[in-house]
Structure 1
Amino acid sequence: MLSSFILKKEHPAPYWNPYVCGIGLGLVLLLTFLVMGRGIGASGAMTSVVASGVNSVAESHAQANDFYKGYLGDGTVSPLKDWLVFEVLGVLIGGFISGILAGRTKVKVEKGSSISTKTRFFFAFTGGIIMAFGTKLARGCTSGQALTGGALMNVGSWIFMISLFAGAYAMAWFVRRLWI
């Protein structure tokens, strides 16, 4: 019975209005400024977890590396003390619960009819690597740069967002054939 509830319902709930969602996201951003004193972002959580993992496996390497050391402090700080880790966990858990309640959860690989599942995984993995590299180059992810930086009217964040949309638009024609 639980498995039939978790899997996709016959008539899933309709999608929310994007304007309502945008206002909700803006209110969440405002709330993080009021409660935490800074905006939202996701890439810092991953960096904190990776730095802590490297420190537990190769402490001398992590302490000698300025990049890792910036996230470790004296080396005794757990990534669970970073509120961004809980933000990302909340997004994952909240998204899953929302999908269950709306009847939109399904174990499936979303892909076009012209590519195989293996090719879809390859492109998804490659795109993820490119996005991770871009996140480090831009010094923040889409949520940190576009939402938080954009709300603060940072010029670099606006350039990032314009570049992100321009790049996505430019690549859409090439990627389109994989989905049709």
Structure 2
Amino acid sequence: MEWISQPWPWYVGGPLIAGVLVALMYFGKRFGISSNLETMCSIAGAGRWVDYFRVDWKQNVWNLVFVLGTLIGGYISHVYLTPDTAVAISESTKESLIQYGIANPGADYLPLEIFSWDNLMTLQGMIMLLGGGILVGFGTRYAGGCTSGHAITGLSNLELPSLVAVIGFFIGGLLMTHLILPHLLTL
């Protein structure tokens, strides 16, 4: 049973992802998590105020089931299949994070100095939560999909807009990591 608590190798995970994508393409569906927000807002009645949400949400119920499965799978993986929450990161990354006030970088999956209920109500926490939410929401809408939709489905379909979006996601991640995050961590 030890094999199940270890990360699966690429030659297992890759074909499983490819199998899901082939099945989705066969049934005429597209994979993406951000479209679920649109579906949930449509179910909640946002279409009464915003035209964007005036869609037939019943066509996307399958995707909500997919997200539910993702949440259940994540819970099972975290609670039953994760032997350790420590993350192997390089020494130079640890040194950089210590300079920014992260006490034990790599000791936990998420550093408590950033991801904790106590930090949520601080200026730093509010900027990260609200600013990040606005940027992700705007970026997802502007790019016509999220990272999973573009990087997994779009690139698999050889779509040029998805390639452009994925390149933009990586550039944005690098800018955030090297130019913005250091300032936010020192607030």
TM-score computed with the length of structure 1 as normaliser: 0.69
Separation of aligned partners in 2, 1:93 and 1:15: 18
Q: What's the offset of the Cα at 1:124?
A: 3.7
- Unmatched tracts of structure 1, length 5 or more: 1-11, 56-61
Task: Choose the corresponding residue for 2:18, options 17, 22, 26.
Answer: 26
Separation of aligned partners in 1, 2:49 and 2:110: 43
Separation of aligned partners in 1, 2:34 and 2:111: 26
Are 1:13 and 2:5 matched, yes or no?
yes
SS of residue paired to 1:162: helix
SS of residue paired to 2:170: helix
Q: What's the offset of the Cα at 1:78?
A: 4.8
**Higher relative contact order, chain-length normalized (CA < 8 Å, sep 6+):** 1
TM-score computed with the length of structure 2 as normaliser: 0.67
Task: Choose the corresponding residue for 2:146, options 134, 141, 152.
Answer: 141
Counterpart amino acid of 1:163? G
- Unmatched tracts of structure 2, length 5 or more: 86-107
**4+ aligned runs moved over 6 Å, structure 1:** none
SS of residue paired to 2:45: helix
Distance 1:54 1:105, change over 3 A: farther
Match of residue 28 from structure 2: 37
SS of residue paired to 1:82: helix
Task: Choose the corresponding residue for 1:101, options 60, 66, 80.
Answer: 80
* Pairwise CA RMSD: 3.3
Tell me whether 154-163 or 136-145 shows the greater mean CA deviation: 136-145
Distance 1:86 1:104, change over 3 A: farther
Match of residue 66 from structure 1: 51
Separation of aligned partners in 1, 2:21 and 2:165: 19
Conserved? CA contact 2:31–2:149, under 8 Å: yes
Work out the percentage of aligned pairs sharing the same amino acid.
Answer: 27
